[in-house]
Amino acid sequence: MIQGRRPCMTAAAATLLDFLTLSEALKRELRHSWLSDGRQESVAEHSWQMALFAILAHPHLEEPVDLGKTLEMITVHDLVEALVGDVPYFETGERKRLKKQREAEAIEDIRTRLGPPTGDRVRDLFLEFEDRQTPEARFAGAIDNLEVQIQHNLADFSTWTEAEYGLIYDKLDTPCAHDPFLKALAESVRQRALAKMRAGGVEVLCTHWGPVI
């Protein structure tokens, strides 16, 4: 029986190693975010910081959330970028227009590469994250948006573009609205962003709709 299982185990091990060769691209794929030392951030670094953030924030949530499932979702949510690359939120043009389609094709490619049941599990987690309908997906989505702004706050202000100023409202309020602690986090992150903008010489007037420059 053990001998009969060996070819199957060997094939599974080869599939896993081949996929890790693909996912290593996330360590090399750079985002439109910079670290505090001036180095550009990788997708893998963003996902790791999201995971740590979720662990630390989880005990404070009002809505019950399965932390293990959330961490799985965070780990796989950007896997498609190993195949199609990262597209910044504010980018326009062909890459932005085709982003959803290309990512949908990429997650099916990933599902096929991994095979059942692992590939199905990874695809389902990715789609759940995208749909934002479950408590875990809403939590992971909020963490995703918060972490992006936190990293911007840590980076030198010269790396910010004017298109990013309004994101302290556009990308924080709605994703965090479902939980009091996440709302408090969003406001704290926003206040630090506003302070950084003022220190960078941007005249900011806070209104209900966001900063007026």
Give residue for tokens 């962003």: 193
CATH number at residue 88: 1.10.3210.10
- Percent of the chain at pLDDT above 90? 82
- Tally the domains of the chain: 1
Give pTM, 2 decimals.
0.91
pLDDT tens digit string along 140-153? Answer: 999 999 999 999 99
Mean pLDDT, range 54-72, rounded to an integer? 97
| Cα torsion angle, 114, 130, 140, 146, sign | positive
CA–CA separation, 213 vs 211, rounded Å?
6
pLDDT tens digit string along 19-31? Answer: 999 999 999 999 9
CA–CA separation, 4 vs 109, rounded Å?
29
Instruction: Supply the pLDDT for residue 200.
Output: 93
CA–CA separation, 139 vs 125, rounded Å?
13
Domain that holds residue 184: 2-212
Instruction: Supply the pLDDT for residue 63.
Output: 87
Instruction: Supply the pLDDT for residue 205.
Output: 62
Interior CA angle at 73 toward 87 and 146, to 5°?
60
